[in-house]
Each structure stands twice: as C-alpha cells, then as structure tokens.
Amino acid sequence: MHRYRTHTCGQLRKENVGETVKISGWVHSVRDHGGIIFIDLRDHYGLTQVVIDPSKPFYKGVEHWRVESTICFTGEVVNRIAEAVNPKLATGEIEIVANEMEMLGEAKVIPFQVAKEEECNETLRLEYRFLDLRRQSLHNNIVLRSKVIARIRELMTAEGFMEMQTPILTSSSPEGARDYLVPSRIHPGKFYALPQAPQQFKQLLMTSGFDRYFQIAPCFRDEDARADRSPGEFYQLDMEMAFATQEDVFEVNEKVLHKIFTEFSDKQVDAIPFTRLPYREAIEKYGSDKPDLRNPLIMQDATELFRNCDFKAFAGVVASGGTVKTIAVKGCAGESRKFFDDMIKFAQSVGSKGLGYLRWNEGEVQSPIAKFLSEETLNALKQLGGVSDGDVMFFIADNEKAACEIGGHVRNELGKHLGLIDPNVFKFCWIVDFPMYELDDDGKIAFSHNPFSMPQGGMEALLSKDPLEILAYQYDIVCNGTELSSGAVRNHSPELMVKAFEIAGYGKEVVEAKFPALYKAFQYGAPPHAGIAPGVDRMIMLLADEPNIREVITFPMNQKAQDLLMGAPGEVEFNQIRDLHLKLNLPKKIEKAAEEAE
C-alpha cells in the first residue's frame, strides 16, 4: 500500500465498497456528535467523508484536531445508509470507516475560514495566500488558468506555431513603460532590464527564418496597478507571423479566441469573424478605443442642430469650434428626477461642465433646456435620435476630444445604471486603423502607439501625407470593454523606419542607437511580419467572471507592488549592494523614519 494514499479524496464510489483504502488530505470540517465523529477530508480532487467510531484507539485525539490539518486515514469503504447519502458530493454514496490514522501536518488556528467562501480582507488573504488558494473559488480559477494555457498551447501548435523562449535579462528599451532594472556585477554602472514584452526578440525570430512563433510570455512593467492590471509582471500569449498580413493575424486569433472562450465559458461568444471597427468610428460612436459592445447605446453628432439655437452654453461651444454629442436612450423617460440629477453629477465627475437632456414624457418635453429650442430643432433632434414619447436624449457639449471621451463615460454609466448590458455574452471587436502619429502634450508630432508599426500607404504616405492623417496597420482586440491586446503589422524596412522616426523628430542615429538589433537585422533580408499578444491574465479574468485580476493570479502583488507573503521587495545585505557597485540614495522622508526607528 502506498505510503500516503491509494485513492484521492474525490475518487471513491459505490464500486469501491468493501475495499481497504488509504486517503490523505486536509480536514475540511469536523462534525463531532459526542460519540461518532464525521470528518470531511479534502484534497485537490474532492471531499470524502471519514467516520470515526468511539471505540477506535485514536478517537480521543480526533476531538482536538483542527480544520486544515493534514491527516492520513486507512479504513474500509462502506455504503452510506440510504438516508445519509449526500447528493451534493461526488463521493456522497460512500464513506470510509477509519481503522488507522496518522497526523501529517497539524494546523494552527487559521486566520480566516477556508471551507466557507466569506469575504475577507485582501491584505490578510495575500499574507496567507497558501490558505486562500485552498479556498474553492480561487483554487478553481487557478485550475481554469492552467487548463486554458494548456489548451492555448495545443491550439497554437495545431496552427503551426512554435513555442520559443526569449531572454528575461535583456537591455532597457527606450520606449514605453518604466523598466525593472537589474544591475550588472561584471559591468559596473550598467544594467539589464526585464523585458516589457518580447517585442524585439520575436521580430528578430521572424528575421531569423522562423515562420510562426508563440510564447506564454512573462512581461515586466514598473507601472501602477489597476483592477485589471497587476503590478510588476503579467503574461501575454505573444505571437508573430512571417509573410503575414493583418487579416492573417485576425484569422488565427479569431479561431483561437473563439475556441477558448466557447470551451471555457457558458456565455454566448460572438460568431467569427469578429466586428472590425475603425479607431475613428469607435471614438465617435462609443467615446472609447475599447468599447463594450454589449451596451447598445451609441453617440451621435448633434453639433449643427445647436449652432444657431438660443441655448447659449451649447451655441457658444459650437461657435468656438466645439462639438455636441448626443446619446438617445429608449424608454427611460419615466426614470426619477434623482436619476437625471445623478447622471449630471456623474458627467461632472468625469470632467463635463454639465449634461443636457430632453425627456419626452407623457406627451410633453420635460427638460431644463427645451425652452431654448425651437419646435423645428426639437423635431430635428427627435428624428436624429429616432426617439418618440417615453424616450430621452442626453447631450454633451465640449471640444471634440472631450465631448467624445465624456460621452463614452456617460454611455457606460447609462448602460450599467439601466441594466442594458447582457452579462451572458462575450462581444468581441477589432479596433483597426489607429493613427500612426498624434500630437503630444507639447503639440509635437509623436508616435501614437508603437514605433514598430507599418504605416498604411508605406513610404509614399510618409512622404506625401499630413502625418496626423496617416493610419497604421495597428490593431487592438477588445472583449466586453476590456482591451485584450494590441498588435500590428510591423515595419520591416530600414528606410521606412528611418523616415517614420524622422517625422517624429528623431534622426537616423537615434534609430541606430535605440533599436540597434532590429535596425541591423532588417538590412539583411527581413520578411514582412505581423503579430499580436493577447493578455492571458485578462482572458482568464473574463472567463472566470472576476472583476479583479488578482483573483486569477497565484501569488499576486498588492497595489503598491509588494508580495506580502514573500516580503518582496526586501532589503539585501550590504555586500550584495557593494558587489553591484551601487550606493543607496534614499528619499529624505525614509532616512528620517529610519533614524527615528533606531
């Protein structure tokens, strides 16, 4: 007989009745009847009820065994009497009558309950992550994660992709997020950086003659956390394809994502091909480059209808070149006064000066602004929004960028508030045709996304077009308002690279200095190539229906990028710092606090 078990805690059935078995697991719950004692023993696979009779020599000990201790029982599998069958358990038709027991690992009193799924302070959960991970919902999320990743590997491999590794210690990249740096011992004053993504490596792999690459790639970015953004590190399904177009990338990703989302969720998944939405249209209609298409509301332009009206606030915005955006909402005219007041407050909280509305309720127009509008204008608005009695139109007036952005927030809020969002579907879309350049805060032309993207129209566009009009073969995939990934057809031509950087104000020497590997490689015969890298953590988050990314990561850091269980980041020995040729230069505040602590 095996040292610890002949079966797992989820394995035994009626067929095993009469067998002598050994199982090991955690004490999930104890039901002590004074005489007979029932213990639910739990492992990764399930629960099995163990019965302990008062006549057993180890009976006395059982009374004091705490939940979450690990124990090994040897005993006989018996049928439960009919009334005692538990249909909630897979093993509920049988139980084990214990003959021998061995304590394997005793548990102290636990700081929060494992067997019960009650809410619990997250700091405590992170400090005792090993206990938290025993709890069913988190445990299931991690199991789901493992299965999804295994399936991704199968699907990608079946599509002809090769899984490859790329370096974790690499050089700092000049663009993008803040890098995590690793000081070099051998080269004083020099640093490695952890990769923000294997971007340049995968492009080099294409240039090295590999055709289809993928990797479940760790990415490191030293940026602040959000609910859907874990600080420190996260994983991408990184991929790149040689001799490929944008459509080739879409096709593979649609296949893989549709399969994954269909297989690992009960929600209804959009049929493929997914909706393609140009960036410009997304901003104008949804006020966002990651619209939640479950929300049926769309924004329309009502600028011209307010140009000559008596409502000075709006007419003034239009006169100074601004925009009026409207959102028509069917059937919400009956909402309370408080609803409309709350919506105005909300609009103000996201930066709007106000929120106008027209409410066609019981045959009349109820609105603070209706009195400024002619009958003709009201009718034209009605026609624009396609509304009638019982409906409402909301209005936002501001410069175009702000109006779209605020309208996007209002659209989301209305969708949430009015319950317009179907929780049982996954709505995917591709956002395409991102602009190549945009104006930065100083009014200078800058790359709006990724300097490696191929401009649409190639060299001719770079030479002849207004840079702000040039589009890139740059795309995002969005699911239910979550940006899963960005990708692009890459710029594989050294001449185009130099020209593209020149427009952003950088000379050839900058390209050579900042991207030496790619610039060099592309001069020795580069294949046109394209790729993308969907966020694995976010995919699991959507599949597990979790609002927080930490619920799908085994050992996440907190918002301040600390691992409360391991104590990272932590102090190191002076010798280690000295070997790396570093000196600490701490903020005054921290030095002062350290002195006071002494």
Partner RNA sequence: GGGGAUGUAGCUCAAUUGGUUAGAGCGCCAGCCUGUCACGCUGGAGGUUGCGGGUUCGAGCCCCGUCAUCCUCGCCA
Binding site for RNA (CB under 7 A): 29-36, 38, 40, 49, 51, 53-54, 64, 66-67, 80-81, 83-86, 88-89, 92, 95, 109-113, 115-116, 118-124, 173, 175-178, 196-197, 199, 221, 223-229, 447-452, 486, 548, 550, 558-560, 562
Least distance between RNA and beta carbon 320 (Å): 23
CA atoms within 13 A on the CB side of 398: 19
Residue 361 or 562 with smaller CB distance to RNA: 562
Least distance between RNA and beta carbon 503 (Å): 15
Q: Give whole-number Cα distances, 517 to 173, 180, 211, 443, 513, in Å.
A: 12, 21, 19, 31, 9
Cis amide bond preceding 273, omega within 30: yes
Least distance between RNA and beta carbon 190 (Å): 21
CB 255 within 8 A of CB 448: no
Residue 347 or 393 with smaller CB distance to RNA: 347
Least distance between RNA and beta carbon 112 (Å): 5
Residue 50 or 318 with smaller CB distance to RNA: 50
CB 33 within 8 A of CB 53: no
Residue 33 or 337 with smaller CB distance to RNA: 33
Least distance between RNA and beta carbon 48 (Å): 10
Residue 183 or 481 with smaller CB distance to RNA: 481
Residue 175 or 364 with smaller CB distance to RNA: 175
Residue 269 or 282 with smaller CB distance to RNA: 282
Least distance between RNA and beta carbon 114 (Å): 10
Residue 235 or 360 with smaller CB distance to RNA: 235
Residue 34 or 363 with smaller CB distance to RNA: 34
Distance CA 258, CA 506 (A): 41
∠ CA 477-483-485, rounded to 5°? 55
Least distance between RNA and beta carbon 13 (Å): 15
Distance CA 273, CA 294 (A): 17
Least distance between RNA and beta carbon 126 (Å): 7
Residue 272 phi/psi, 5° resolution? Answer: -95, 155
Least distance between RNA and beta carbon 315 (Å): 29
Residue 154 or 224 with smaller CB distance to RNA: 224
Least distance between RNA and beta carbon 433 (Å): 16
Least distance between RNA and beta carbon 222 (Å): 9
Rounded-to-5 percentages of helix, strand, coil across the chain: 35, 25, 40
Least distance between RNA and beta carbon 582 (Å): 22
CB 52 within 8 A of CB 117: no
User: One-letter amino acid identity for 116?
Assistant: K
Per the listing, tokens 């409502």 go with: 311
Least distance between RNA and beta carbon 64 (Å): 7
CB 533 within 8 A of CB 237: yes
Shortest CA distance to 318 belongs to which of 305, 331, 299, 329?
305
Residue 441 or 573 with smaller CB distance to RNA: 441
Q: Give whole-number Cα distances, 104 to 56, 117, 177, 387, in Å.
A: 19, 25, 47, 70
CB 556 within 8 A of CB 236: no
Per the listing, tokens 């990934």 go with: 485
CA atoms within 13 A on the CB side of 50: 32
Residue 8 or 361 with smaller CB distance to RNA: 8
User: One-letter amino acid identity for 200?
Assistant: Q
Handedness of CA 262, 264, 266, 269 (dihedral sign): negative
Shortest CA distance to 541 belongs to which of 268, 145, 194, 18?
145
Distance CA 165, CA 125 (A): 33
Distance CA 541, CA 543 (A): 6
Residue 123 or 379 with smaller CB distance to RNA: 123
Distance CA 103, CA 4 (A): 11
Residue 423 or 547 with smaller CB distance to RNA: 547
Burial class (CB in 10 A: 0-12, 13-18, 19+), 304: exposed
Least distance between RNA and beta carbon 538 (Å): 11
User: At how many degrees (to 10) do helices 536-544 and 136-158 cross?
Assistant: 130
Burial class (CB in 10 A: 0-12, 13-18, 19+), 577: middle
